[in-house]
């Protein structure tokens, strides 16, 4: 069993190209899965390629085109980063993933790569129109998040690739919110969650909206019908524009956390709540 923790990306990519390995970032998804397997009589593990010593992956950088969030950036680092209001939703999520212990170690990229329907980072990345930077010995490619996520816990990561960054493009100034529903206060997996981003014109009318819902389908979904309907709407009245029809393409399931029916119904309220929160926050800032 190998465990490599290279300090150089080229070396990491060489290992990746050569062998089947599990990539280790913060470990907050890997260890619970391992513990569950071990409890039922399988304590084996594959070779590990630990990304945590690679230089630069823990940085958030900005240029004219946008922001680059290195794949080792943790939730806690995101929450503390000096980022514009566009990132308020992602920051809100960062403060509610697990407890502070998990936030201090777990990464946004790891959350994306686990590709759980309940991953709190994912709807935010979708609403941010983020791209996934994939590196391999062959070079780099950028995939939109929606293309990177191919199904329930499935991603378009080639066996020779590593996610090196999440890339968020720049657009007009925007506001964002994230709402999460769980059955207890902290340390809880979402029953459903919504990330919303709106760009406003000078009259506080919505110029563009990007809204995504998680845990109501195998892969989080954007709400294109609603996004279109909101164009030109006043922020204050935007929540009232949300209708069940905008959510018709969701395919929620029933599990131990909630019923499918419930998920479908509350998703509507959560979308309204997310828009209302943006409105309140905007009003608060204006005051």
Partner 1 sequence: MLDRSKTRPLRLIVNNQPHAVTADPFTPLSEVLRDHLGLTGTKIGCEAGDCGACTVLVDGVQACSCLIPVAQAEDVPVLTIEGEDGDGLIRRLKEAFLAHGAAQCGICTPGMIMAAADCLMKDPQAGRAAIEDALGGVLCRCTGYVKIVEAILDVARGGGLPVQDPEGAFGARIARVDGRPKVEGIDLFGADSAPGDALYLRILRSPHASARFTLGDCRPVLDRVPGLVAILTAKDVPGENSFGIFPTIKDQPVLADGFVRFRGEAVLALAGTREAVEAVRDADLPIEWHPEEAVIGVGMGLAPGAPVLHAKVPDNVLTRGYLECGDVEAGHAAAAVTAEGAFETAFVEHAYIEPEAGFAVRLGDRIEISACTQAPVMDQEEVARVLGIPKAAVRIRPTACGGGFGGKLDVSVQPLLAVAAWQLGRPVRIIYTRPESMASTTKRHPASIRARASADAEGHLLAYEMTGDFNTGAYASWGPTVANRVPIHATGPYKVPHVRNRTRAVYTNETPAGAFRGFGVPQAAIANETLLDDLALQLGLSRWAIRRRNALGHGDRTPSGQVLHASAGLPECLDAVEDAFRTFEAEAEAFNAGATRFRRGAGVACMWYGCGNTSMSNPSTMRIALLPDGRLVFFNGAVDIGQGSTTVLLQIAAEALGLPPAAFESVIGDTDLTEDAGKTSASRQTFVSGNAARLAGLDLRRAILALGNAGPEARLALEGATLLIRDGEASRRVDLAALPRDDEGFVLVGRGTYDPPTTGLDARGQGVPYATYGFAAQVAEVEVDMLLGTVKVRRIVAAHDVGRAVNPTLTEGQIHGGIAQGLGLALMEEFIPGRTENLHDYLIPTVGDMPEITIHLIEDPEPEGPFGAKGVGEPALVATAPAILSAIRHATGARICRVPVLPHRLFEALQAKGARS
**Chain residues in the site for ligand FAD (CB under 6 A):** 22-30, 32, 51, 71, 97-98, 102, 106-107, 109-111, 113-114, 119-121, 157, 162-163, 187, 189
Least CB distance to partner 1 at residue 6 (A): 11
Other beta carbons within 10 angstroms of residue 122's beta carbon come to 29
Contacts 24+ apart (CB under 8 A), 248-257: 249/217, 249/221, 250/213, 250/216, 250/217, 250/221, 251/216, 251/217, 251/218, 252/192, 252/215, 252/216, 252/217, 257/182, 257/183, 257/189, 257/191
Other beta carbons within 10 angstroms of residue 85's beta carbon come to 17
Instruction: Tell me how far apart the alpha carbons of residues 95 and 103 are, in angstroms, rounded to a whole number.
Output: 7
CB nearer to ligand FAD: pick between 117 and 239: 117
By the rule CB under 8 A, 80 interacts with partner 1 = no
By the rule CB under 8 A, 50 interacts with partner 1 = yes
Instruction: Tell me how far apart the alpha carbons of residues 266 and 11 are, in angstroms, rounded to a whole number.
Output: 47
Contact 178, 92 (CB under 8 A): yes
Least CB distance to ligand FAD at residue 120 (A): 4
CB nearer to partner 1: pick between 103 and 282: 103
Binding mask 137-176 for partner 1 (x = CB under 8 A): ----------------------------------------
Least CB distance to ligand FAD at residue 88 (A): 17
Least CB distance to ligand FAD at residue 65 (A): 21
> Which of ligand FAD, partner 1, none interacts with 169 (beta carbon under 5 to 8 A by kind)?
none
> Which of ligand FAD, partner 1, none interacts with 5 (beta carbon under 5 to 8 A by kind)?
partner 1
Region for residue 38 given its phi and psi (left: phi exceeds 0; alpha: psi -120 to 50; beta: otherwise): alpha
Binding mask 233-272 for partner 1 (x = CB under 8 A): -----------------------xxxx-xxx-xx--xx--
DSSP alpha helices (H): ranges in 106-202?
108-114, 121-127, 145-148
By the rule CB under 8 A, 28 interacts with partner 1 = yes
């Amino acid at each position: 069993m190998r465990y490599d923790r290279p300090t150089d990306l080229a070396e990491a990519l060489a290992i990746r190209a050569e062998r089947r390995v599990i990539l280790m970032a913060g470990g907050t998804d890997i260890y619970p899965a391992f513990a569950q397997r071990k409890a039922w009589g399988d304590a084996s593990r594959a070779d590990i390629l630990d990304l945590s010593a690679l230089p630069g992956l823990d940085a958030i950088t900005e240029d004219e085109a946008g922001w680059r969030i290195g794949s080792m950036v943790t939730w806690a680092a995101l929450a503390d980063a000096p980022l514009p209001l566009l990132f308020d939703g992602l920051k809100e999520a960062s403060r509610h993933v697990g407890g502070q212990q998990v936030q201090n170690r777990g990464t946004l990229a790891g959350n994306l790569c686990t590709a759980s329907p309940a991953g709190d980072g994912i709807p935010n990345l979708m609403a941010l129109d983020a791209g996934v930077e994939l590196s391999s010995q062959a070079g780099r490619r950028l995939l939109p998040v929606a293309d990177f996520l191919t199904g329930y816990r499935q991603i378009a990561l080639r066996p020779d690739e590593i996610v090196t960054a999440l890339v968020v493009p720049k657009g007009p100034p925007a506001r964002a919110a994230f709402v999460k529903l769980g059955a207890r206060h902290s340390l809880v997996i979402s029953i459903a969650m919504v990330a919303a981003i709106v760009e406003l014109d000078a009259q506080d009318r919505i110029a563009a909206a990007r809204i995504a819902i998680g845990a109501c389908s195998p892969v989080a979904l954007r709400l294109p019908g609603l996004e279109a309907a909101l164009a030109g709407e006043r922020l204050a009245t935007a929540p009232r524009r949300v209708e069940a029809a905008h959510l018709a393409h969701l395919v929620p399931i029933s599990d131990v956390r909630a019923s499918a029916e419930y998920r479908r119904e509350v998703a509507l309220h959560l979308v309204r709540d997310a828009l209302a929160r943006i409105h309140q926050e905007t009003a608060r800032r204006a005051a």
